[in-house]
Structure 1
Amino acid sequence: MATTYAEYQRDRIGWFFGISGGQLIVLAAASLPMLWAINKAAWLSALLLALIWIAVLFVTIVPVRGRSATGWMFACTAYAVGGLLGWTSFRSKASTGQAEDLDTPDLPGVLQGVQVHDGPPLGSNLQRVAIIQDHATKTWAVTAAVVHPGIGMEDADERHRYGEALTGLIDVAGRTEKIEEILFTVRTVPEDGAERALWVSSHRRPNAPALSERVNGDLAHGLTQASVRTEQFVTIVVPETRIAKAAKESGGGLEGRCRELYLLMAEIEAQLRGPMRTTTVNWLTSPELALACRTGFAPGDRAGIVEALAMREKDSGVNAEVPWAMAGPSGADSVVRHYSHDAWNSVSSTIKLPARGVVMGALAPVLTPSESGERRSFAVAYPIVPQSKADRQSGNAEWAADLAEGMRSKVGMKIRAKQAEDAAKARGLDQKLARGNYLTRPYAVCTVTVPKTARISEFGRRLDASVRRAGFAPLRLDLSQDAGFAASTIPLGISLTRKGNA
C-alpha cells in the first residue's frame, strides 16, 4: 500500500461554468455587436459577428499546450524580437577575452541578474556561506547540498510521516513570514569514475598480477557505465520586501541581511535534520556553489575538477577552484524546443499533477537515465502564499464554487463528480488554513541533458515517456527552455512563477 496525496486543486476555479470573471467580461463585450445586429434584424452582419465571437471564444478560453492563443502570440513575438536583437544567444566574456573580474558571475538568460556575496563567518569552522542576490527579482537566497537516505524502501506509514514532515517544513517557512519559496533540486549525474580512478592509482601495488589489473579495469569500466550519482540541493528564497526592515534592525546593509538569512537557515536546517531525517546539510560557500553551477552547465567537467582537488592536496599551488566568471557556459543558445549550452543540449518540461493524486516517490522514473552519459534533473518548488492572501483566495474559491453549483442547478445541469470534488476541496481549504497550515502552489520542472553528439529530440521524447510512466503528464516548455533549465538544474533560486524570471 502506497501513500497517495490528492489534496490539491486548481489555482483558480472559474465561477461561471469554469470561466473566470475576466474571460466572461471579454466574451460579454464581444457579444454586444452581435446582439445589436440581431436587434436591428441585420442577419448577415449578425452571422459574421457570431463567427468573430466564436473566434474570440477560442482565443480567450481554449488553452493550447498550456497557453492561450494570445499567450502564444505574445511569446512568439517576444522570441522573434529577441532573436533579431541577439538576446537569445549568449557568449561569455571569458570566451572572448573580456573578463576583468573573475569573482563576478557571467551567466546567461534569467541568471544574468545574479550576484554572489560571501557571508560573515558562520559556526566553529568559520564557513562563509554564499549569499545569492538576484537583482532582477529583488530576492536573496542560500543553497545547501543535502544527503537524504530516500524513501524507496520505506513502507506506507513511514512515507506518510515524511509527507507530514514536508508539510511541517512548509509551515515553519511560512511562519517566519520571510521565506517566499523553498526549492528542492535533484540531479542524477552519470558516474565519471574520477574518485575510483584516484583511489586505484594511490593503492595500486607495483607487483600486482597482470590478470588482477585487467579484471579490476574491466570491472571499473562496467560499473562506471552502469552507475549514476545523485546530487541534492535545497534553496530558500527571501524577497527584499520581507527582509529589509528586519535587516535594518540587525545592522543594515549586506551584513544585516546575512544575519537574518542565517537565522532562517538555522530554522530550516533543524527541520531538515529532524523530522525529514536529512543526514547531511552543508550550506554552500561561494567556490562550492560555483562548482555546482559549472557542473550543472557542463556535467563532463567534474572529472577534471576532482582530479585538480586531489592534486591540490599534494601541491598547494594547484588551482582547483572555478571562478564565477567561468562558472557558466562559454556559449549558450535558446532554441524553440531545447537549450544549447557548450557541448551539451537540454530539454525541459513541466509536470502536470494527475487528478487521481500523487504517490510519494512517484518521480523516481523521471530521474532514471535511459542511456549512459545522460543526465536527468528536476526541481520541485513550493512557493508559499502569505496567510492574508491565502485567506482571501480561499474565500473567493469557496464563493465561486457555491455560485457555480447554484447556477448549474438553476439551468438544470448535472454536477459531475470531478466538479463536486473540486468544490469540496475549495470548501475544505478554509479549515486547513484555520488549523495553521500554509497555502502553497507547488510545481515541478524536469530536464534531460546529453552531449551534442546525441539527438536531443530523441532524449526529449524519452523524458516525456518517463514522466508518463511515473503517472504524470509532461508539458514541454517551448520558447522558455533556458528558464526551465536554470530552474531545474542550477541551484541559484530561479523560479518559474516569480515575476522577473518567467
Structure 2
Amino acid sequence: MAATDKPRTYGNWRRPASPGLMGLGALGTVGLLLGLMISVFAVMAGGLAAGAVAAVLLGTVLLVLLVKDRHGRSLLSRAGIRLGWANARSAGSHLYRSGPLGRAGWGTYQLPGLAAPSRLSEHEDSYGRKFALIHVPFTSHYTVVLGSDPDGASLVDRSQVDQWVAGWGAWLANLGEEPGVEAAQVTIETAPDTGHRLRREITANTDPDAPALAKQMLEEVTRTYPSGSSQVRAYITVTFKAVGSTGKRREAEEVGRDLATRLPSLTGRLAATGAGAARPLTAAELCEAVRTAYDPAAAQIIDQARADGEATEMDWANVGPAAAEAFWEHYRHDSGLSVSWTMTEAPRGNVQSAILERLVKPHRDIARKRVTLLYRPLDPARAAAVVESDLRAAQFRATSNRKPAARDMVATRQAQATANEEATGAALVNFGVLVTATVTDPARLPDAKAAVDNLAATARLRLRTAYGSQDAAFAAGLPLGLVLPRHLRVPAELRDQF
C-alpha cells in the first residue's frame, strides 16, 4: 500500500495543566509549602506534639487533594458535589412544577434551571431568512441556532472525508477570529421516525392516474417503512457576547442586526464541512425542538401538525416541561426519563475520522439520543499564552524528579508539538462532549445506560455520569448555547489550579 493511501489520523489533545509538586496545581503547591512552614513553626512553638498534629492535618489535606478516581476527581471535588446535591434537595430546587397549577406565579410552562431566564426573539438576516436569537441575561450571551442535514460518510471517498474534517477545523479556527464569539456547540439528535414526513411526501407526489399496483406498493411503503427507522437532526449553535467592540452592552435588536450580516458567511462556510445546507432555525422550529426534548410524546403531535400543514404556534414561555425532577443519577421530565454523561478524557493516541460514528448513530435501546460537542475557541493572543504556560508546566513536572515518569515525558513532547503548531498559525479550541440518553419506559433505562457505556468504549471516550447535576447537563446538551463554566460559583480556571 502506498504512503498516500494510508488513512489520516488525528490526535494530540491536551488538557492544560498547572505547574506544581506531587501532582498538585499552583495553588495546591502554595498550600503545601504554607502547610510545611506552619508545621515547622508548630514544632518550634509547641514541641513535637504540636508539630505532629500539624503534620497530620497537612497529610489529611493532601490526601483529600491527591486521591483521585479514574475520572480525575479528587475527594474534595466529590465531597463538594455531594454537599451541593444535599443543599439542592433540602431547598427543593431538584423539583419543578410549572403551568397554571405549578409554582411559577405567571402560570406558564417556562424552561427550568439554567435556561429559565432565557429569552427568545426572531430576526431576519440579509438573505431574508428568519432566525431565532436566544438571550441569557445571567451570562450576557446571545445564541443563534443553525440546522443542517449532514451528508453522511456512506459511499464517500476517504479523500472527501478528509477534506470535510479539514473544512470543519478551518470553520472552528475562524470562530476564534469572529468578533464576540464565546462558544459553539454541535448537537446530533437521533429519534424514532414517526412516518408523517414520508406519508406527506408520498401523498403530495402520487399521481391519481397511476396504476393500481404502484399505488398499492406506495401504500405499503407508507405503512411499513417508518417501523424501526430513525431520523437524525443536527444543530449548530454559536454563542456571542453581549458586549460589543465598543465595550457597551448590546440589546437583542442590535445583536440581531449585527448577526443578520454575518450569518450568511457562517452558514456558507459550513458547506465545506459535510454539514449540508445549513440554515438558521426560526423561533417556531427551535420551540418545537426544545419542547420535543422535554416531552418526547409531543413529537407525534408536532410531526402530525407539520404533515397537515398546520403551525404549532408555540412560544418560548411554554416549551418547558409541566413537571420535572432531578435525581442523583437521572432526570425525569414529562414523558421522558434521561441520563446524561460528560466527557472526562479525550481519546488517547491517534484516531481516525470515524471514531464517533457509532456513538452518534441511532441505537435500538435508546429512544432519543443527543451527542453534543462543546467548543470554546480561543483568540490568538490568549492561545499563545495558554500553550506557553502549558509547556512550562509540562517541563516543570518532567524535571522536578530525577527519574521522570513516561507520561511526563510524553506530555512534554505533546505540549511542545502544540506550541509549535500554534506558533505556525494553528488555532486553539477547548472542547468537551455531553451525551444524553432518553427513554419513555423506565424499564428500558438500564439498557440505555449499558448501550452508552459500550458506545463510549468504541469511541475511546471516558464518560462520567453527571451525578447530582442531571438537570443542568440535560439543558446543556440542548441547542441552547449554554456555557456551563460561566454558571459555576467557583470559576473553572480557579479549580484547575488545585
For residues 396-436 of structure 1, give each alpha carbon's deviation from its aligned partner in whole angstroms, at most 9, with x where no partner exists: 2222233333322xxx21x3433222112222333323333
Work out the CA distance in 2 between the residues paired with 1:98 and 1:494: 22
**Which of the numbers 110, 113, 117 marks the counterpart of 1:113?**
117
Alignment TM-score, normalising by the size of structure 2: 0.86
**Aligned match of 2:125:** 122
Q: Residue type of the partner of 2:94?
A: T
**Aligned match of 2:177:** 175
Q: Which runs of 5+ in 1 are unaligned?
A: none
Q: Which runs of 5+ in 2 are unaligned?
A: 1-5, 493-498
Work out the CA distance in 1 between the residues paired with 2:248 and 2:55: 58
- Give the Å deviation of 1:295: 1.5
Answer yes or no: is the 8 Å Cα contact 1:59–1:68 preserved in 2. Answer: yes
**Aligned match of 2:297:** 300
Q: Structure 1 residues 144, 207: closer, same or farther in 2, change over 3 A?
A: closer
Is 1:427 the counterpart of 2:427? The answer is no
Q: Structure 1 residues 79, 183: closer, same or farther in 2, change over 3 A?
A: same
| Local SS of the residue matching 2:180 | coil
Q: Residue type of the partner of 2:389?
A: N
Work out the CA distance in 2 between the residues paired with 1:379 and 1:436: 27
**Aligned match of 1:263:** 261
**Aligned match of 2:137:** 135
Alignment TM-score, normalising by the size of structure 1: 0.86
For residues 352-409 of structure 1, give each alpha carbon's deviation from its aligned partner in whole angstroms, at most 9, with x where no partner exists: 212213332211222344426611111111101232222222222222233333322x
Q: Structure 1 residues 85, 464: closer, same or farther in 2, change over 3 A?
A: same
| Local SS of the residue matching 1:185 | strand
Work out the CA distance in 1 between the residues paired with 2:296 and 2:335: 10
Once the two structures are overlaid, the 10-residue window that deviates more, 322-331 or 439-448, is 322-331
Q: Residue type of the partner of 1:183?
A: Q
- Give the Å deviation of 1:145: 0.5
| Local SS of the residue matching 2:400 | helix
- Give the Å deviation of 1:88: 1.4
| Local SS of the residue matching 1:236 | strand
Work out the CA distance in 1 between the residues paired with 2:260 and 2:105: 32
Answer yes or no: is the 8 Å Cα contact 2:188–2:370 preserved in 1. Answer: yes
Work out the CA distance in 2 between the residues paired with 1:284 and 1:106: 20
**Aligned match of 1:343:** 335
Correspondences of 1:123-272 after superposition (within 5 Å): 123=126, 126-198=128-200, 223-241=225-243, 243=244, 245=246, 253-272=251-270
Work out the CA distance in 2 between the residues paired with 1:162 and 1:421: 30
Answer yes or no: is the 8 Å Cα contact 1:173–1:268 preserved in 2. Answer: no
Q: Structure 1 residues 179, 152: closer, same or farther in 2, change over 3 A?
A: farther
Is 1:442 the counterpart of 2:407? The answer is no
| Local SS of the residue matching 2:386 | helix
Is 1:32 the counterpart of 2:24? The answer is no
Correspondences of 1:354-393 after superposition (within 5 Å): 354-371=347-364, 374-393=367-386
**Aligned match of 1:495:** 483
| Local SS of the residue matching 1:19 | coil
Q: Structure 1 residues 498, 263: closer, same or farther in 2, change over 3 A?
A: farther
| Local SS of the residue matching 2:171 | helix
Q: Residue type of the partner of 1:25?
A: V
Q: Residue type of the partner of 2:291?
A: R
Answer yes or no: is the 8 Å Cα contact 1:2–1:155 preserved in 2. Answer: no
| Local SS of the residue matching 2:372 | strand
For residues 8-43 of structure 1, give each alpha carbon's deviation from its aligned partner in whole angstroms, at most 9, with x where no partner exists: 112225343543111111222233344456668955
| Local SS of the residue matching 1:141 | strand
**Aligned match of 1:68:** 74
Work out the CA distance in 2 between the residues paired with 1:10 and 1:207: 62
Is 1:89 the counterpart of 2:105? The answer is no
Answer yes or no: is the 8 Å Cα contact 2:356–2:459 preserved in 1. Answer: yes
Work out the CA distance in 1 between the residues paired with 2:12 and 2:443: 40
Q: Structure 1 residues 54, 339: closer, same or farther in 2, change over 3 A?
A: same
| Seq. identity, % | 20
Q: Structure 1 residues 458, 372: closer, same or farther in 2, change over 3 A?
A: closer
Q: Residue type of the partner of 2:152?
A: G
For residues 304-348 of structure 1, give each alpha carbon's deviation from its aligned partner in whole angstroms, at most 9, with x where no partner exists: 11222333x4xxxx5523232321211111111111110111111
- Give the Å deviation of 1:463: 1.0
Work out the CA distance in 2 between the residues paired with 1:372 and 1:222: 20
Answer yes or no: is the 8 Å Cα contact 1:225–1:372 preserved in 2. Answer: no
Number of residue equivalences: 482
- Give the Å deviation of 1:461: 2.8
Q: Structure 1 residues 207, 238: closer, same or farther in 2, change over 3 A?
A: closer
Work out the CA distance in 1 between the residues paired with 2:417 and 2:474: 35
Q: Structure 1 residues 224, 118: closer, same or farther in 2, change over 3 A?
A: same
**Aligned match of 2:472:** 483
| Local SS of the residue matching 1:130 | strand
Q: Residue type of the partner of 2:398?
A: E
Work out the CA distance in 2 between the residues paired with 1:52 and 1:458: 45
Q: Residue type of the partner of 2:372?
A: A
**Aligned match of 2:496:** none
